[in-house]
Structure 1
Amino acid sequence: MKQETNTIILEMGAAKNKDIRNLQRGEGKIYSNIANILKQLKAKGETPEDAQPIIVIVRKKREKTGLFD
């Protein structure tokens, strides 16, 4: 996949299900973190005004701890 010049890829790491749902609604911790990152990049002039962010959230699988899990 070729990355366009106006594309920003943000890898946010692991997140809880509740945080992901809040992000889908446009609220919560992850949403505010993304907004702050984009503001900082635009203030520094490192990204164009029409930049399109792509957010990647890596969710870790729950480890099996018991015999019947």
Structure 2
Amino acid sequence: MSTNLDYKMHKNMDQLIQTNSSNLNACMGSTDPNKVVEKIRKEISTQKEATNGEARGRVPPGGFW
């Protein structure tokens, strides 16, 4: 038997799910985790390309005096 309280609880859960989905979309740019992962992978590969531009010299143990 469905009561008015059941209806209100269900309605509140729907609103909560919608709010969580909106918050997730705002933070991640998408609610689809696959799109988010692909975006992060592109960002990481771009950062690696930028940092691998020049060779670095070796610092001896203990540093330079």
User: TM (normalized to structure 1)?
Assistant: 0.30
Comparing both structures, which one devotes a greater share of its residues to strand? 1
**Which protein has greater RCO, CA pairs closer than 8 Å, 6+ apart?**
1
Comparing both structures, which one devotes a greater share of its residues to helix? 2
Q: Which entry has the higher C-alpha Rg, 1 or 2?
A: 2
